[in-house]
Amino acid sequence: MVALKTFIGLFGLLSLLATPLAALTDAPRERTQVFAVCLGRASAEMEHRWLIGGGAEAEQDRRAMFEMLLDTVAPNSGLAGPQILDMRIRAKMAQAQLLQIATFHTDPDRKRRAAAAARQAMRPCSALLLS
């Protein structure tokens, strides 16, 4: 049951970032939400790489970019600081859980699915930096 709730929550987070930056409106609120979620995910990726080894520097750069983008749009978003922090933390926890399953779970199929979901969750964020 807990796994089902986790995957439903992850689906919600994934659907938030289903569009690249070019498709976003100019609304600072929407951009703030997207950048907060990407910053949370990038934080989880960076910490995971620190613990596991390899690639942490690239993730640090990605995280720094999302932090800069969020800091730029957040003041005009109309969202309170705690709301933005909540989005970041939820996204970070969801991504960290996927990475943990992908790395340490004993079921190879579940590991594969979690790794694919973690990559899929980061794909829209990567597209934002490339566009």
pLDDT digits (tens, 9 = 90+) for 11-39: 454 444 444 444 456 788 999 999 999 99
What's residue 28's pLDDT? 86
Residue 130 has pLDDT above 80, yes or no: no
What's residue 30's pLDDT? 93
Residue 76 has pLDDT above 70, yes or no: yes
Residue-range definition of the domain harbouring residue 124: 27-76+85-130
Q: How many residues does the chain have?
A: 131
Helix, strand, coil distribution of the chain in percent, nearest 5: 85, 0, 15
Going by the DSSP 8-state scheme, the letter that residue 17 receives in this structure is: T
Structural domain total, the chain:
1
In a domain, residue 8? The reply is: no
In a domain, residue 19? The reply is: no
Q: Choose between 59 and 83: higher pLDDT.
A: 83
